[in-house]
Amino acid sequence: MILTRRSALSLFGAVAISACARGHDGAVLKVGSQRGGTKAMMEASGALEGAPFTIEWSEFPAAQPLLEALGAGAIDLGGVGDAPFLFAYQSGSPIRSVQATRYDTRNPATAILVPPASRLKTAADLRGKRVATGRGSVGHFLLLRAMDQAGLRQADLTTVFLPPGDAKGAFDSGAVDAWATWNPYVAQAMLHGGARVIADARDLSTNYGVIAANERSIADKKALIGDFLDRNNQAQRWASDNTDAYAAVLARETGLSLDVARHFGDRGLVVVPSDARLLTAMQTVIDTFQGSGALTATRPIAAAFDTSFDARLREPASRA
């Protein structure tokens, strides 16, 4: 399916324009945000105050539709997990990471869930079962890692690829036996549906995320993107240090209950350079998807990361 800028947004995201700052030249950054993601954090922290550009926010339910819009040029950049980013990049999308983040999650943030009355206790119990997740998502990656650890092969269970809303419906109705998903869906299912975790990302995943940008946007709006990344770094530090305040804004912005927002926001975030350590972790993601037959990787992994922005991690934050 070939997406235009307009069809990418109309199909996958509802656009919400926020005139949070306006430069004299009318500069605009089009930023994608997943539910409970970048937008709430940036606005809660006040990091956008005085920004020399207008942000047009586009909200998406998951990383895959955000990445579809990004690849089509409908948005300039957006935050996603490492697994969906690499899956999209290896599929040929014209995108690159401009900033990487490592998560220190104190609560299950990506997890394999089962209903409260389920007899399943561990990933090994998934043999012969049906598991919902999003193709190429962090949930998909966690499922593959859990299967490897449990000695399960692809033929040992049925993976049902669904977007989050449909996956929730299948999980709640019993059409699937388990659900490999991410926050805020994990928190909602645990806190309000009694779902149990049989495996989570704290021990099995790489726990990285990236700000991905369209290659044309990097070329045309590099100074604006650099300024945005400085502010995003500031917002992440604020969110890590002010969990309750972040949760309150997150709940208001997204309609999530406060306990779900608190579960989601209780995490440590640190911006990291695109160095050898990061690339080693990213190779693990690629190898996992390749080993399952889900992906054929032909693009050099190092080329997925634009390191020209890393200097901003070692210098005082500058404003474009």
Q: How many CB atoms lie within 10 A of CB 159?
A: 20
Q: pLDDT: is 105 or 197 the higher one?
A: 197
CB 319 within 8 A of CB 231: no
The band of 288, judged by pLDDT with boundaries at 50, 70 and 90, is very high
* Separation between Cα atoms, residue 76 and residue 105, nearest integer Å: 28
Q: Which pTM was predicted?
A: 0.87
Q: What is the mean pLDDT of residues 178-190?
A: 96
Cβ atoms < 10 Å from Cβ of 243: 18
Confidence of residue 18 (pLDDT cuts 50, 70, 90): very low
The pair of structure tokens assigned to 148 is 């490897």
More confident of the two residues 22 and 153 = 153
- What the chain holds in terms of domains, given with CATH numbers, is 5-105+207-314 (3.40.190.10), 110-204 (3.40.190.10)
- Predicted confidence (pLDDT) at residue 314 exceeds the cutoff of 90: no
pLDDT score for 8: 44
Which residue, chain included where needed, has tokens 């190898």?
Answer: 287
What is the distance between the alpha carbons of residues 313 and 126, in angstroms, rounded to a whole number?
A: 42
pLDDT in tens, 49-69: 999 999 999 999 899 999 999
DSSP 135: T
Residue 320 has pLDDT above 80, yes or no: no
Cβ pair 216, 139 in contact under 8 A: no
Q: Which two tokens stand for residue 91?
A: 């599929």
Q: Is the pLDDT of residue 47 over 80?
A: yes
- Which of the pair, 92 or 103, is modelled with greater confidence? 92
In tens, the pLDDT along 150-166 reads 999 999 999 999 999 99
CA 75 to chain centre: 16
What distance, in Å, lies between the first and last C-alpha atoms of the chain? 36
Task: Give 216-253 pLDDT, tens digit per residue.
Answer: 999 999 999 999 999 999 998 898 889 899 999 989 88
- Residue of 201, 184, 200 lying closest to 114 (CA atoms): 200
Closest CA to 40 of 230, 262, 241, 253: 253
Which of left, alpha, beta for 43 (phi over 0: left; psi -120 to 50: alpha)?
alpha
